[in-house]
A and B are shown apart, each in its own frame.
Chain A
């Protein structure tokens, strides 16, 4: 009884609101103004001021700045990776959005499901590997930044122990660890990396605990493939050094951050929206393995390295050399000979791993302690 009253009450109040306010949200696709492109974004969390989603938020802001009144952006944040995602993506498609960016791996199947129902809407799924006629994928070569981190870590470490915090033992994280190891060993053959798995992308408490364990075990340089600034804050307090993730985190740890690898989604968003407006949007004609048709790194400015700080000039110079080397293609991070940490040869000298092989990584290269779980 009471609940029926509540429900009716809410409806009545809402209906009163309706009398004063006419809904403008549901413009059918056919009536849309021709020059304005409606763009939808789905975020995993609230953007906050650091980390993964914030990087996407900055990209979205670049879109708004670039197109001004020509685009109308709708954002839904805090969308769990399940049935809610399907519903939200469908609502965005129904709301007349012509291109929808879904910015987390777990939106893969929901995006494909909705894309099937809306063949005229374009979808861009971030970090996924499944595509269809109107679903393209985009990703960043995060591992390139980690190579430079390895170079800096190898030159800066005094204890020769590097503490690495990983989110989950999936290929993307493992290739980052291995790229770090390649950078590390290019300047320092004695240093080793030990990995702690946080089993989360974002949990400041767990990340801080992992950082404390690393420091207690003698690590003086910390690296992370998780999202919060907690690790750097611990490093700052304990006098260790580390690297920022996704966005510049020097504000959280001005004395501890050596540099940050910054995800720069803006140019990719702008390019895809521009393609759509010119009628040239496509899902790419690259090789159809899962790396996606947009997989950009330092060269295409999708990955940016922040200012080198808290390090001597010689180290900064070496880091700059590594950065330039990757950009020009002089450095191939996964060029042979590659030997895994059990001594097995992965690939001989003269050859290099291709993109597909990167996504199959389930081993550590030399320089990393332990073995991949699972």
Chain B
């Protein structure tokens, strides 16, 4: 039987050493696996970690991939900090994209980019409404939000599927489940860099991330609202004594995280897809849960965690393109990386105690 006992004090040194150790272990086991499977281990590591940074347009692509992860992860951070377990960001992402898409497709001739403000707002509302369902069920009827939010993901997936096959299907699509293309005003353009052109698919949506990270940092660390969330999460009793209304905090964080997931959906679809299709999210809502924890529920951490996850995903593609390493192998490596990073963090905070005999 293994028990984890919180450490009295987390050593300052270990905050630096633990992640380094985690990486050393990851690399060690990675090299072992790659060598065992007959791939050049150093080349593999290069492809996974460095090749995504090796060209400036590839860096653009990392940011594109990280963008939805960071936005959703930041929203989830608020939930997880206050012990509200929103597992349904994927569904909120879809509903945000869907509501925004519905509005975008209702104005087929609009050209002004100010229209984006409306679609992004619609995305926020769509995601927030979807998160409102678990929020109201939890606060009024004490229904477990993990189950409700997770199950609503599948409802959202089937709903968008129905919409693009039925009401919003493009009559010119030969029966394929695709909506009409968005009007110009609802598209987020790629960023043109003078003298360089486009950097991969890097689009203006990334600006939202650069706004969101500092704002959420200030919200969490410098405002009363953020303080309440922190207290509710780390000491629920203290929050109660202080007279914080638990229910209103729960609803607030769910609305915010749902809304942010919705915004991520709008940005993703408007920048990268340009129309509604049955699948608009590719597990971003679930991956963002890892991002939120890897970033230690801290906005700046989440920024970097999003970039790390995106880098490894892109690196895995590169490794496959240049070396023919199957995704299952690089997926295994990703798993090892996350395992050691999270183990490192856990052992920083907890001691392991082995107790014998009793099962």
Question: A23 at interface (Cβ–Cβ under 8 A)?
Answer: yes
Assess the A10–B161 pair: CB atoms within 8 A. Answer: no
Q: CA of A18 to CA of B272 in the docked complex: distance in angstroms?
A: 32
Chain A to chain B: the 8 pairs with minimum beta-carbon distance, closest first: A14-B50, A3-B304, A83-B272, A14-B49, A25-B322, A171-B175, A80-B282, A17-B46
- The 16 sampled A-B contact pairs (Cβ below 8 Å) are A2-B345, A3-B294, A6-B308, A7-B304, A25-B321, A74-B324, A80-B282, A81-B277, A83-B273, A87-B200, A87-B314, A92-B321, A129-B174, A169-B175, A359-B174, A359-B175
Q: In the complex, how many angstroms separate the beta carbon of A359 from the nearest chain B beta carbon?
A: 5
Assess the A6–B19 pair: CB atoms within 8 A. Answer: yes
Question: A349 at interface (Cβ–Cβ under 8 A)?
Answer: no
Assess the A3–B295 pair: CB atoms within 8 A. Answer: yes
Could you list 7 further interchain pairs (A-B, Cβ under 8 angstroms) beyond the known A3-B19, A3-B300? A23-B54, A25-B322, A83-B65, A83-B272, A88-B321, A95-B321, A374-B165
Question: B45 at interface (Cβ–Cβ under 8 A)?
Answer: yes
Question: B186 at interface (Cβ–Cβ under 8 A)?
Answer: no
Assess the A88–B317 pair: CB atoms within 8 A. Answer: yes
Question: A13 at interface (Cβ–Cβ under 8 A)?
Answer: yes
CB within 8 Å of B: which A52-81 residues: 74-81
Q: In the complex, how many angstroms separate the beta carbon of B11 from the nearest chain A beta carbon?
A: 13
- Name the contact of A84 in the complex, choosing from B15, B165, B282 (C-beta under 8 A): B282
Question: B43 at interface (Cβ–Cβ under 8 A)?
Answer: yes
Assess the B46–A10 pair: CB atoms within 8 A. Answer: no
Q: Write out the residue numbers on chain A whose beta carbons fall within 8 Å of the beta carbon of B51.
A: 23, 25
Given contacts A3-B294, A13-B23, A18-B46, contact A75 B320 (CB under 8 A): yes
Q: In the complex, how many angstroms separate the beta carbon of B175 from the nearest chain A beta carbon?
A: 4
CB within 8 Å of B: which A337-370 residues: 359-362
Taken residue by residue from 20 to 53, chain A's Cβ proximity to chain B (1 for < 8 Å, 0 otherwise) reads as 1101111000000000000010000010000000
Question: B327 at interface (Cβ–Cβ under 8 A)?
Answer: yes
Question: A9 at interface (Cβ–Cβ under 8 A)?
Answer: yes
Q: CA of A2 to CA of B293 in the docked complex: distance in angstroms?
A: 12
Question: A106 at interface (Cβ–Cβ under 8 A)?
Answer: yes
Assess the A83–B174 pair: CB atoms within 8 A. Answer: no
Interface residues on A, range: 35 or more
Q: CA of A334 to CA of B46 in the docked complex: distance in angstroms?
A: 56
Residues of A with Cβ closer than 8 Å to B? 1-7, 9-11, 13-15, 17-18, 20-21, 23-26, 40, 46, 74-84, 86-88, 90-92, 95, 105-106, 109, 129, 168-171, 174, 199, 290, 359-362, 374
Question: B166 at interface (Cβ–Cβ under 8 A)?
Answer: yes
Q: CA of A17 to CA of B307 in the docked complex: distance in angstroms?
A: 20
Assess the A20–B42 pair: CB atoms within 8 A. Answer: yes
Interface residues on B, range: 35 or more
Assess the B174–A290 pair: CB atoms within 8 A. Answer: yes
Given contacts A46-B326, A129-B174, contact A5 B45 (CB under 8 A): no
Across the interface, name the chain A residue whose C-beta is closest to B273: A82
Across the interface, name the chain A residue whose C-beta is closest to B282: A80
Q: CA of A286 to CA of B307 in the docked complex: distance in angstroms?
A: 47
Across the interface, name the chain A residue whose C-beta is closest to B281: A82
Question: B176 at interface (Cβ–Cβ under 8 A)?
Answer: yes
CB within 8 Å of A: which B298-334 residues: 300-301, 304-305, 307-308, 311, 314, 317-318, 320-322, 324, 326-328
Question: B69 at interface (Cβ–Cβ under 8 A)?
Answer: no
Q: In the complex, how many angstroms separate the beta carbon of B97 from the nearest chain A beta carbon?
A: 11
Q: Write out the residue numbers on chain B whose beta carbons fall within 8 Å of the beta carbon of A174.
A: 175
Q: Write out the residue numbers on chain A whose beta carbons fall within 8 Å of the beta carbon of B53.
A: 11
- Name the contact of B23 in the complex, choosing from A10, A25, A360 (C-beta under 8 A): A10
Question: B341 at interface (Cβ–Cβ under 8 A)?
Answer: yes
Question: B207 at interface (Cβ–Cβ under 8 A)?
Answer: no
